Amino acid sequence: MERDALFDLAGDLVRSHAVWERRFGVVLLLNFARVEQERPLIRRMLAPLRKDTEPYVRKALTWIDKELARPRPSPALSAARPPAK
């Protein structure tokens, strides 16, 4: 699937009435949270879920919040590091 299709699907899921669909919508965005340019869009998409009281949705929001808060190394630092073995 392409990025736009995944974001559209996640957007539909986070607005669902079903708990597990809302949770999956958040989890679907986890990988994109690692991309600095995607973070503002992800935060806007997830804003309505901040009031959700379902524990499974709250847990997924905790996971993605950790990814969104994680600093990314600068490209210069990444180039200076030896490759992992």
Enter the tokens of residue 57: 């949705």
- What pLDDT is attached to residue 85? 64
Enter the tokens of residue 25: 């919508």
Does residue 77 surpass a pLDDT of 60?
Answer: no
H/E element holding 61?
Answer: helix 55-69
As a whole number of angstroms, the distance between CA 50 and CA 44 comes to 11
Enter the tokens of residue 83: 């490759």
- What pLDDT is attached to residue 14? 95
Does residue 78 surpass a pLDDT of 60?
Answer: no
Helix (H) and strand (E) counts in the chain: 5, 0
pLDDT 10s digits, 24-76: 999 999 989 988 999 999 999 999 999 999 999 999 999 999 999 988 765 55
